Amino acid sequence: MARKTAHDDPLAPLTLAVGQEDLLLDRAVQQVVAAARAADADTDVRDLTPDQLQPGTLAELTSPSLFAERKVVVVRNAQDLSADTVKDVKSYLAAPAEEITLVLLHAGGAKGKGLLDAARKVGAREVACPKMTKPADRLAFVRSEFRAIGRSATPEACQALVDSIGSDLRELASAVTQLGADVEGTIDEAVVARYYTGRAEASSFTVADRAVEGRAAEALEALRWSLSTGVAPVLITSALAQGVRAIGKLSSARGGRPADLARELGMPPWKIDRVRQQMRGWTPDGVAVALRAVAEADAGVKGGGDDPEYALEKAVVVIARAARSRGR
């Protein structure tokens, strides 16, 4: 969902793509290349990194051709260009060559700002590609992706997709494309749940498994990864609660075969085997402590606290300690 300036001709002499969202930067390049090849199928495309663009290289690439071929020159991470190469680029900007489109990808910020300012001063076509760190931005992106492919999706479906996939725009865009290809009519929350909700649940249960096994560091790492990818905190507290309750149920049950216990406790046999391995360090008091921690975390993520992330981290640490309560 890159934002563009009013001057939006992809074949303008200079396109400046600014930001750190890789998908949007790549799309800015693809749009220019597609427009150039629509005008001339034999367009030559040169895609360069700073170490490939040495002093003098740009002049060589943009020198007049006997065949007057159209050319697109892409410079990635322009903020990292050497001082001498920046001089070459600024010199070129003052007198751009015909039939050549230069695309500068710049992260923004203070580094390399002189080149950024010079490109803007000559009237570059600018495409903003900011990193989407807010859930609301990713939600808007998903909505725009559905509009772009001419499909209708309910607000609940868009939110469910963000909750399930997380912060990776490439995966979100791919998910929208897949749903658009596979599903007829309006895409609703039930469809998204059928395709993708299991991913968020899987990451939530990874947090819970590591916590009830007493592996605090790994549980915290999994927790931070889950939150950074957009997993809803309520899914994590639910998984923690299920993990601790399973420990409590199995520890109070009579011994027996997994199949018998599965029927008695309402768990699949494979889960009986897993919980047996996880419960070795637990005591009844530890289970009680862990359940209180889960309840406090659940209240914290549902509005009872100021920092849901801290509430979850605290619960994970308490559960991991409780998992090692036997033998203290």
Which domain CATH number covers 190? 1.10.8
Which pLDDT value is given to residue 66? 56
Angle 258-284-247 from CA coordinates, rounded to 5°: 35
How far, rounded to the nearest angstrom, does the alpha carbon of residue 183 sit from its chain's CA centroid?
Answer: 24
Contacts by 114-121, CB closer than 8 A, 24 or more apart: 114/86, 115/78, 115/79, 115/81, 115/86, 115/89, 115/90, 116/16, 116/18, 116/78, 116/79, 118/89, 118/90, 118/93, 119/14, 119/16, 119/93, 120/16
**Average pLDDT, stretch 165-190?**
87
Summarised one tens digit per residue, pLDDT across range 269-301 is: 667 777 888 888 899 999 999 999 999 998 888
Answer yes or no: is pLDDT of 5 > 60. no
Portion of the chain with pLDDT greater than 90, in percent? 52
Q: In terms of domains, do 53 and 154 share one?
A: no
Answer yes or no: is pLDDT of 62 > 50. yes
Summarised one tens digit per residue, pLDDT across range 198-210 is: 666 667 888 998 9
Answer yes or no: is pLDDT of 3 > 50. no
Which helix or strand (DSSP H or E) is residue 164 part of? Answer: helix 155-165
Q: In terms of domains, do 139 and 124 share one?
A: no
* pTM (whole model) above 0.75: no
Per DSSP (E only), the strands in 163-304 are: none
Q: How many other C-beta atoms are found inside a 10 Å radius of the C-beta of residue 84?
A: 10
Q: In terms of domains, do 121 and 152 share one?
A: no
In the DSSP assignment, the letter for residue 196 is I
Portion of the chain with pLDDT greater than 70, in percent? 88
User: Considering 163, 196, 229, which residue would you say is the last residue of a domain?
Assistant: 196
Which pLDDT value is given to residue 69? 79
Does 8 fall in a domain? Answer: no
Domain total in the chain: 3
Does 4 fall in a domain? Answer: no
Q: In terms of domains, do 278 and 293 share one?
A: yes
Q: In terms of domains, do 20 and 123 share one?
A: yes
Answer yes or no: is pLDDT of 259 > 70. no
Summarised one tens digit per residue, pLDDT across range 80-112 is: 999 999 999 999 999 998 889 999 999 998 999
Angle 48-51-52 from CA coordinates, rounded to 5°: 40
Q: In terms of domains, do 125 and 141 share one?
A: no
Answer yes or no: is pLDDT of 26 > 80. yes
Q: In terms of domains, do 87 and 42 share one?
A: yes
User: Considering 99, 129, 159, which residue would you say is the last residue of a domain?
Assistant: 129
User: Considering 129, 154, 178, which residue would you say is the last residue of a domain?
Assistant: 129
- Domain residues for 240? 204-323
Does 216 fall in a domain? Answer: yes
Which pLDDT value is given to residue 265? 67
Rounded CA-CA distance 119/141 in Å is 27
Q: In terms of domains, do 251 and 173 share one?
A: no
- Cβ(315)–Cβ(297) under 8 Å? yes
With bands split at pLDDT 50, 70 and 90, how would you rate the model's confidence at 304? low
Q: In terms of domains, do 107 and 150 share one?
A: no
* Among the listed residues 119, 105, 131, 117, the one whose alpha carbon sits nearest the alpha carbon of residue 48: 105
Here the tokens at position 96 are 């751009």
Q: In terms of domains, do 115 and 173 share one?
A: no
Q: Report the mean per-residue pLDDT for the chain.
A: 86
Q: What are phi and psi of 21, to 5 degrees?
A: -90, 105
